Amino acid sequence: MAKEDVEKLLIAGGEDKKVRAKYDAPATMEEFVELAAEDGYVFTVEELDTMLKESGDVFEKNGNPPKRSIWWA
């Protein structure tokens, strides 16, 4: 279930710039996971980290304005 929720959120962010903007705001993975839980996505920091590593994505922000490159299209 948790893996599916991570995938659903990463796909939602890839499809919707409002979702991306909302989830680009948190500074830490812990804040990101807490925000996701409020929206019904249930997973842990460790599960998010594992999924990102498996897909070759990096959680840190880059660019100006700072954005994450974790979103799946």
DSSP 8-state code for residue 62:
B
pLDDT in tens, 12-71: 999 999 999 999 999 999 999 999 999 999 999 999 999 999 999 999 999 999 999 999
* 73 inside domain: no
Q: Provide the number of structural domains found in the chain.
A: 1
- List C-alpha distances in Å: 21 to 1, 68, 70: 25, 9, 12
Residue 72, token pair as written in the block: 């799946």
* 33 inside domain: yes
Please tell me the pTM assigned to this model.
0.94
* 21 inside domain: yes
The count of C-alpha atoms lying within 13 angstroms of the C-alpha of 19, restricted to the half-sphere facing its C-beta, is: 16
Domain that holds residue 34: 2-55
| pLDDT, greater one: 73 or 11 | 11
* Torsion angle in degrees (nearest 10) through CA of 71, 4, 28, 34: 130
